Structure formats: C-alpha cells, structure tokens
Amino acid sequence: MTDLDNSLPIVLYHYYYSPYAQRVVWYLNLRGIPYSQCLQPPIMPRPDLARLGVNHRRIPILSIGRDVYLDTRLIIDKLEQATDLPCARGPLGSPAGGGGGGKASSPEHRALEQLLRIFVVDGGVFARAAQLIPHDLPLMRDRRFVRDRNAFFPGGVAPRELQPEALTEVQAAMRLLESTLLSDGRAWLLGGGGGGGGGGAEEEAEGPSLADLEAVWPLVWLTTLPGALPADRVSAAQYPRVWAWMDRFKAAVKRAAPGGKPPTIKGEQAAEAVVNSPFREASGAIDGDDATVRADGLAKGQVVTVWPLDSGSSGRDVGRLVSIDEREVVIEVDVPGSSSGASVRVHAPRRGFRVRPHVAEPAAANL
C-alpha cells in the first residue's frame, strides 16, 4: 500500500453525536491531521454518500483522494500506517503498526492496544454502553430515528429492561481500568513514554497513546448523555482514577486542536473533491490462499458484494474486486451518473465483514 499524498483531500463523513465518529475526530485532532467534514443526517437516506455510489450505512466514513474507507478500525489503522501524512504529530500507537514514532514500545504494549480494541468493540463494552441511552432523550422520542435504529441493530433498540445488566457490564469495564492499568497513578494506560507508571506532569504532557483512545471513547460518550449513568453508582466518587484519566484525555484533545472545528463542505463539493482526485493506493492483489477466495473462486475484477455482519447489514456495497487479503477487501464502485465513467475504491476490513460473489436481483416480470 502506498502512503498518503499530501495533496489529496481528506473528507470525514459523519454526524456530531456519533460516538464512533468522535473516535476518529479525536484521532485526527491528536495527530493534527487537517481534514474537511461533510455532515450527514443521523438516519437514512444519505444522498451525499449515494453520490459516490456508497451504500454502507454506518458512520463515519473517511475518504482520502478517491479511496473510501469504512469502519473506524480500518480508518485508524490506515492513518496509523501512513508515513507521509500532513500532520503535526506522529502515530499514536505501535511502531510495528507501520508508521514509526509511535508511543507503544514493546510487544506487550502493542498487544494491549489490540486487546483493548477487541474488548471495547467486539467484547461488548460499546454495545452495553449503547443500551444505556436514556429512552427519554429527544432522539429516542423521534419515531423516525427509532424506526431507523430498529432496522440498523439486530433485535432493534434495546428495551429498558436490559439497562441494569448493561450498567453492570460498564461498571465492570471501569473497575478493570481502575484496579489494573490506572491503579499505580499513571497518567496514561501505557505510562509515560510507553514505559511504566507513576504519573507526573512530564508523563501527562506526552499525551495519550492509541491504547488510551481505544479504551476511552465509549466511556466519555456515556458521560455526555444526561441520565445514562446514575451518579450514586458510576461517577468520580466510585472510579476516581478513571474519571481523572477521561478528563486528561479530553484536555489533551482540546490542546491538540486549538483551532476548533474543521471546514465543513457540502455533499456536492465533497463528491467533486473525491471524484476529481487520483487513487491514494495501488490496486493490490488477490490472495489466492485466502479461505474465502478459495471457497468462492473469487478473481480480480469479479463483481462482489461486501457488507458488515453485526449492524447496518442492509447497507451492501457492490463493485469489482480490486484486492483481498486477511485484513482488507477493496472493491471499485462506479459513481452514479458520471459522464466520464468515474469510480471510487471502497475499502472494508475483513473482520466483521462478509464478501460474496454478487447475485443480481431478478428482473421484475412484465405483466
């Protein structure tokens, strides 16, 4: 994969109160990576993405040049691995992740970054946090929003009856951090400079690592939802080290982005910037040893369908297979209505996504 070209436009498609989008915004701010934002409605449809031929319905989506990246895990990995980014600060994570200059300095720290990601995203911490959304919030009283989320989540919006269980799981996550990684008074999960704890102004000034970002985002999000966390059970009184860590993180993000919000562009402007850019990455190859490639006989240029398995599975992208390996699948999607035959390349992680040969819908019979 090639590095980012400094001239390529970086556009983040998101809406403000998406916790997953906030995770990427924080990353961009901590690195000092300049970008534009194209704000989206919280519910479908999203015409701005349809202009690019993208059907994926989960937010955020990041475009760099004519390459479009789905899923925050892949987005952050791509940004970490790029070595020629227009940025003020180096990678947040492991040098072995590909970028160099990161904060994680040992195999154990690199493993911790990944385990925290799995713990939060795949292990259920965020899913439980989402179940704590108060049902009396204005959005939760909006029938269109609830209908959209019932179609988005398997099983629909979580009922109130699940909230006590969800609170217990969130408390367990906070207790884990309070009693282990933060128990020695360190400022950040990997300690100062990735080596030990003890706290102190020098350690705090070094700023958070990727491990901090991977763990902190759903917890900070919950603290912004009025009524989500009962103060007599989940607050700075019960988890003082976790609360102080979250406050440090928020302060670090604020210091890293003193200019405030990025430029906001309309969908037409964003689409023009994307379509008129070159591709960011080389086309890549098909891994002939990949189990899915073997099972389905996938070949370069074959039309395939790609979609997420856990939520938003109705948003399925169809395109010509560009490359596939154990980490990523890339398809080329035609831009609707383009007089020049323009296309974009859509990148998705393999973890949590399915790739299958495309089966066209049968044509409606003429009666």
**Domain spans, the chain:** 106-249
Low-confidence winner among 12-26, 79-93, 181-195, 219-233 (lowest mean pLDDT): 181-195
- Closest Cα partner for 71 from 350, 360, 274? 350
Domain range 106-249, CATH class = mainly alpha
**Longest Cα pair distance anywhere in the chain, in angstroms?**
77
pLDDT value, residue 3:
43
User: What mean pLDDT comes out for the span 310-322?
Assistant: 95
Mean pLDDT rounded to a whole number for the chain:
90
The pLDDT score that the predictor gives to residue 252 is 95
User: What is residue 82's predicted lDDT score, i.e. its pLDDT?
Assistant: 84
Q: Please tell me the total number of residues recorded for the chain in this structure.
A: 367
Q: pLDDT band at residue 363, thresholds of 50, 70 and 90?
A: low
Asked if residue 74 has pLDDT above 50, the reply is yes
Under 8 Å between Cβ of 62 and 12:
yes
Q: Are 320 and 331 in contact (CB under 8 A)?
A: yes
pLDDT one-digit tens code per residue, 87-143: 888 999 854 333 344 565 688 889 999 999 999 999 999 999 999 999 999 989 999
Out of 16-30, 45-59, 103-117, least confident range:
103-117
- Residues 31 and 25: beta-carbon distance below 8 Å: no
Where do the H-state alpha helices sit in the chain? Answer: 19-31, 47-50, 72-81, 107-117, 125-130, 143-152, 163-179, 201-206, 210-223, 240-256, 267-275, 291-296
Q: How do residues 328-344 score in pLDDT, each as one tens digit?
A: 999 999 999 998 899 99
How does residue 361 score in pLDDT terms, banded at 50, 70 and 90? confident
Residue 85 predicted with pLDDT over 90: no
Torsion angle (degrees, nearest 10) of CA 186, 75, 222, 249: 30
Strand partners, 329: 324, 348
Q: Percentage of the chain surpassing pLDDT 70?
A: 90
State what percent of residues in the chain have pLDDT above 90: 79
Angle between helices 240-256 and 19-31 (to 10 degrees): 60
Cα–Cα distance for residue pair 111/265, rounded to 1 Å = 38
Please give the order of strands across the beta sheet that includes 317-324: 36-39, 10-14, 61-64, 67-70, 343-349, 328-334, 317-324, 303-308, 353-357
Per-residue confidence (pLDDT) for residue 194, from 0 to 100? 38
The predicted model gives 22-26 an average pLDDT of 97
Model confidence at 270: pLDDT above 90: yes
| 276 CA to centre of own chain | 25
The mean pLDDT value for 63-82 works out to 96
Mean predicted confidence (pLDDT) in 279-301: 97
Pairing type for strands 36-39 and 10-14 reads parallel
Mean pLDDT within 262-287: 96
What average pLDDT does range 70-85 have in this prediction?
91
